[in-house]
Amino acid sequence: MIEIIINIITGTLIFLGAALTVVAAFGVIKLPDVYTRNHAASKSATLGIMCILLGTCLYFFQTEGVFNSRLILAIAFIFITSPVAGHLVIRAAYNTNVPMCDHTIRDDLKQQQKITSE
Amino acid sequence: MAFQLLLNVFLAFVWMFLKGSTEADTFIIGYIIGLLLIFLTRRFFTGRFYLYRIVSILKLLFIFIKELILANYAVFKSIIRPNAKLTPGIFAMKTVLTADWQITILSNLITLTPGTLVVDISEDNSTLYIHAMDISNKEATIEAIQNSFEKAILEVSK
């Protein structure tokens, strides 16, 4: 009984992770500029990979009785580093004057930079 | 915080020496007794009783995971919906946090929140510049969420 429940949870986690990664990929194709694409890439891919790793950890715990702590460590590392990576990509894009899409209606940072440069 | 934790480990070791055993469960029992002793003598320490801080750290971690799941739902919705109207933009947000690690945690939290990404932090660490997916009506609610984040982070460092 427990075995079936763990199997269902494992399957759901791995499917959910794969689905989220697909959504992130679609987002990167569909969204208009680098900033909005970064939203999709930095969030959905993070949770997707975390779900897949958690599912893998559960699977090996159930089938072989080994608790693989390296997978948990990998989850923690991805959780810490991926928002920072998203921030750095978007900051580098902004500082090299990559244009934003046409719908953009507000830009406080540009005003601030104008004030400081004057 | 660090001193109380160290003292607690030290008390657990004293308990192990008193019992004359090196088992892990003796350590755990000694740790719980030490925890009780530190709780009883908490008014002699300068900081708070350190379990409060551990509870607030756990609360922060819970907020992190909850926001990550909500953010994914929001991204999912905005991608699936055909020709959704996007109104992205960058807005400035003042922060009351001062220490570097607090601002790092806050900007990580904001990056994992639905529809927001930190672009830049001003030189004097007082303002965060945030790129939002939909800036039209969300600004007030986003500010409210961030106030709750700031409160949770201040709770940890109190």
Q: Does residue B90 sit at the A interface (CB-CB below 8 Å)?
A: yes
Tell me which chain A residues have a C-beta less than 8 angstroms from the C-beta of B81. none
CA distance A98 to chain B (A): 13
pLDDT of residue B83: 65
- Decide which of B27 and B138 is more confident: B27
Q: Three-state DSSP class for B118?
A: strand
Q: Which residues contact A52 (CB under 8 A, 6 or more apart)?
A: A13, A14, A17, A18, A21
pLDDT of residue B29: 92
End-to-end CA distance of chain A: 71
pLDDT of residue B143: 74
Q: Three-state DSSP class for B109?
A: helix
Residue B22 has pLDDT above 90, yes or no: no
Residues A27, B75: C-beta atoms closer than 8 Å: yes
Residues A91, B71: C-beta atoms closer than 8 Å: no
pLDDT digits (tens, 9 = 90+) for B23-38: 888 999 999 999 999 8
Q: Does residue B108 sit at the A interface (CB-CB below 8 Å)?
A: yes
Residue A102 has pLDDT above 70, yes or no: no
CA distance B24 to chain A (A): 20
pLDDT of residue A47: 87
DSSP A106: -
pLDDT of residue A15: 93
DSSP string computed for B19-63: HT---HHHHHHHHHHHHHHHHHTGGGSSS--HHHHHHHHHHHHHH
pLDDT digits (tens, 9 = 90+) for A44-77: 888 899 999 999 999 988 888 888 888 889 998 9
| Residue spans of alpha helices (H) in chain A | 2-30, 34-63, 69-95, 108-117
CA distance A62 to chain B (A): 25
Instruction: Report if pTM > 0.90.
Output: no
